[in-house]
Structure 1
Amino acid sequence: MTKLKVYRIYTDIETLRALPRGQQSDLVKQYTGTSDINKRLVLELSDSIKLEKSISDAEVAVLPAILNYYVEKNKLIELEFFLDKAASKGIKVVALNKGDDNVRVPFYDDLIIYKSGGLRSKMRSNEYGLPVMISDKWNDYYSWGFTFPHSDHPTIGFCGQGSATAGKVLAEYKRTFVAKFNKSKDYEGVFSQSRLRANALSELEGDKTINSQFIIRDRYSFHKENGKLNYQSQNEFYENIRDNQYTLAIRGGGNFSVRFYETMMMGRIPLFVDADSPLPFEGSQIADQLFPVHDLKKSGKTSVSETLLNYHQGRSPKELEEVALQMRRTWESNYSRKGFIKTAIRLAVEQ
C-alpha cells in the first residue's frame, strides 16, 4: 500500500491562541479548539498534515489570522513580519480573506490567498476562490440511505429570502455605491442582490415545464428567535434541497453562494447563477463543472430557466443521479473543511 505524503505546516500558535475565534484562520483553528469536533478534525488530518513547532521544519506556512484582521486592526506590519519569516526559509504562506466584503492587501509574491468573494475577473494571480465551510447534515437527512428524485421535468428548490421590495433594493444600491469609496475593501459595482435573486426565481417559477418548489421567506432561514435558532425553518431548508433534483444557488451580499455548498453537501445539483463569482480550485480537475451554470455575462437572451432545461434534457436519469453523487464526493474531498484544508495545503506545497 502506498504511504500518503504528510505535508508539514507552520503557524504562529501563540498568536493563534490569542485571537478571537472568528478571526482565526479556518486552516489551523482546530489546533486551539477544545470541542470534540476540533479534536476529531485534528485526528482526521493527522495522516496528511503535521503542524510543526518550528518554521524551519515546515514546507508551507499558514497565516494565523484571516486577512480581515490585519487590515481592519491596522496590523499589516505583523502580516509582513510573518511573510518575511517564511520567505527567509523559502516557503510560501497561505491566507484566507473572508466575509461579504473582502479586504484589499498589497500583492506579495509568496502569499497565496483564498477569498470568499470579489469578482473573479479582477482576481490577481495569487488569489483563488474560498469555499464556505459548513456542517455536514448528510446523516440527518439520509438515515435510510441515499435516494435521488427522478422526473421528466426538472424539479428545483429554493428556501430563503427571495423578495425584492423597493426599500430593500434601494438600500442595496446605496450600500454598494458607498462601498466604492472604501479603499480597504474589494469593489464589485452597484447592484442589488435581492433583485438579482427575485428575477431568477420569477423566471423559473414562470416556466410551466419546470417544477418549482420555492419557500420564500422575508429573512434568513437560519435566523434566531428569542436568542435561539429556529430549527423548524432549518429543517424545512434542508428538506427542500433533499426533495428536489436542483437548487438555485445565487450570490447574496457577498459574491458567493452558501447554498451552492449546502446543495453539494446534500448530494444534489446546484443551478449556479454566475455573477463573475470565484469558485474554489478553478482551472484544475477538481473544479470540473458538472453542474448547470447560468453565466450572467455570457447568457445573452438565454433565461435561467432555459439554462436549466437544456442541462436537464441533455442527461439521462442515471446520469443525473451520478452527477448528484459526484457533487457530494467533491464536497467531501475538497469543499468540506477537512477536504479544503487538505487540498489547499497540498496545492500550496506543489506550486
Structure 2
Amino acid sequence: MLKIYTDQHFIKAENRRCIFPLLFDLCYTKNEPLLKQYALMDQMEEADVVIVPVDISEFFQKQQQDWLFDYIDKALALDKKVWVYTAGDYGFSIGKSVYTFRLSGFDSKFDANTFILPSFIEDPYINIQNFFHPIAKQPAPKIGFVGHASNSWSKWTKEALVFLLHNYKRFVRVLFTDFQPFYPSSIKRYKFLSLLQKNDQINTDFIFRNHYRAGVKTEGDKKKTTLDFFKNIEVNPYTFCLRGAGNYSVRFYETLAMGRIPFVIDTDFRLPLDGIINWEQHCIIASDKNICKALIDFHQKISEEDFQKMQVNNRNLWLQFLNREAYFTTLSTLFKEKYK
C-alpha cells in the first residue's frame, strides 16, 4: 500500500467540489479497491506521500497562501513527496518542488513532475444502453463529430471577450490561473472540420452545434443530444477531437472509452501516464498543417486486423488505466515502484 497523509480538517461536505480527486474516492465515496491501494496515515512523518487536500487556487482565493506554503515546506523538509491538485480548464502553477496533478496546460511548459488527470467520465455505453464492438475497416476513413463549431464573427467576438475578461480577472487577482494565449476553439474546430468535409477521400458524419451542448434547457433535450453525441461516436471508427477552453478534450476520453480512435489536433498538450502508455498506438495526433493527409495515410497503412484490434485496445485502455479507479490504482503502483 502507498502510505499517504493529508490534513483531514479539510475533509468536509463543503469541500467536495474542490477536494483532491483521490481523497474524494477514499474519504467521501469509500472506494473499496482504492482503500486497498492507499493507507491514510495520522501523522505526516509516517507517510510516503503528502497530499495538499484541496485545489491550490482555493488558498489564494481565501488569502491562505502562507498556510499552503508552510504545509508544503514542512513535508519537503521531511523528504516527503508532495501531491498538489489544480482544477479547472487552465490550472495554476506555484513553482514548488511538488508533483502537480491537473487536467490541462502546455507540455512544453511542464516538468517531469506534472501529471495529467484524465477527464473522469462514466462509461458511455451506459448512456446508449449498448455494448462495445469494433467496426470493420472500410475503403475510405469515416470520421464523426457532434458539437460546438462555428465560423461566425459573433462567436469569435464572444470568445475574444471571454478571453479578455478572464485575463482581466487574473490581472486583478480575482482568479488564480496560468496564462494561456487566445485560442477561439469553436472557430478553429469549424475550420478543421470543413477541411475534412471538403476532402473527397474522407467520409464525414458531422453535426454542428451553435452552442455548447446545443444550448439545451430541458432534461428531455439534454437526454436526446447526449444520445446523439454518443451514437455518433459509436457508429464512426474515428472521432475528431480538439481542445476547448482549456488545452484538453473530454471527447478524447469518451472516444477511447467507446473503443473508437481519436483523431486529435496537436496543441502542445500532454496526455495522462505518458511514460506508461504509448499514445501513438491509441490515437492519431495530427499537426494543424496536415490534418487530411494524416487521417488518409493512417487509414491506408493500417491493416483490417490491426484496425479492429486498435479499437479493442482503446476500450481496454480506458477500462484498465483511464477511469478514476484504474488511474489511481496505476498511480499507486507507479509511485511505489518508480518514485520510492
Answer whether TM exceeds 0.5 for this pair. yes
RMSD: 2.3
Q: Is the 8 A contact 1:177 1:189 kept in 2?
A: no
- In structure 1, what is the equivalent of residue 104 of structure 2? 117
- In structure 2, what is the equivalent of residue 319 of structure 1? 306
- In structure 2, what is the equivalent of residue 30 of structure 1? 25
Query: Partners in 1 of 2:214 and 2:191 — Cα distance?
Result: 23
Q: What amino acid sits opposite 2:41 in the alignment?
A: E
Query: Partners in 2 of 1:160 and 1:143 — Cα distance?
Result: 22
Structure with greater proportional helix content: 2
Q: CA deviation at 1:224?
A: 5.0
Query: Which of 63, 66, 90 is matched with 2:52 structurally?
Result: 63
- Call closer, same or farther: CA 1:216–1:348 in 2, change over 3 Å: same
Q: Answer yes or no: is 1:347 the counterpart of 2:311.
A: no
Query: Partners in 2 of 1:260 and 1:207 — Cα distance?
Result: 23
Q: Is the 8 A contact 1:250 1:273 kept in 2?
A: yes
- Call closer, same or farther: CA 1:76–1:229 in 2, change over 3 Å: farther
Q: CA deviation at 1:309?
A: 0.8
Q: Answer yes or no: is 1:285 the counterpart of 2:276.
A: yes
- Call closer, same or farther: CA 1:229–1:96 in 2, change over 3 Å: farther
Query: Partners in 1 of 2:305 and 2:99 — Cα distance?
Result: 39
Q: CA deviation at 1:149?
A: 4.0
Query: Partners in 1 of 2:163 and 2:127 — Cα distance?
Result: 38
Q: CA deviation at 1:129?
A: 2.2
Q: How does 1:330-341 map to 2 (within 5 A)?
A: 330-341=317-328
Query: Partners in 1 of 2:252 and 2:298 — Cα distance?
Result: 17
Q: How does 1:1-351 map to 2 (within 5 A)?
A: 6-17=1-12, 19-33=14-28, 38-39=29-30, 42-105=31-94, 107-109=95-97, 111-141=98-128, 143-144=130-131, 146-177=133-164, 179=166, 182=170, 184-221=176-213, 224-226=216-218, 230-282=222-274, 284-290=275-281, 291-296=283-288, 299=289, 302=290, 304-349=291-336, 350-351=338-339
Secondary structure, in 3 states, of the residue corresponding to 2:143?
strand
Q: CA deviation at 1:180?
A: 5.2
Q: Is the 8 A contact 1:71 1:103 kept in 2?
A: no
Secondary structure, in 3 states, of the residue corresponding to 1:185?
coil
Q: Which 4+ stretches in 1 moved above 4 angstroms?
A: 139-142, 177-181, 226-229
**Contiguous gaps of at least 5 residues in structure 2:** none
Q: Which moved more, 1:79-88 or 1:242-251?
A: 79-88
TM-score (structure 2 length as normaliser): 0.89
Q: Which moved more, 1:149-158 or 1:170-179?
A: 170-179
- Call closer, same or farther: CA 1:222–1:46 in 2, change over 3 Å: farther
**Contiguous gaps of at least 5 residues in structure 1:** 1-5
Q: CA deviation at 1:158?
A: 0.6
- Call closer, same or farther: CA 1:103–1:144 in 2, change over 3 Å: closer
Deviation per CA, 1:243-263: give whole Å up to 9, x if none.
Answer: 110101100011110100110
Equivalent pairs, count: 332
Query: Partners in 1 of 2:214 and 2:317 — Cα distance?
Result: 25
TM-score (structure 1 length as normaliser): 0.86
Secondary structure, in 3 states, of the residue corresponding to 1:333?
helix
Secondary structure, in 3 states, of the residue corresponding to 1:27?
helix
- Call closer, same or farther: CA 1:92–1:159 in 2, change over 3 Å: same
Query: Partners in 2 of 1:77 and 1:229 — Cα distance?
Result: 47
Determine what percentage of the aligned residue pairs are the same residue: 26
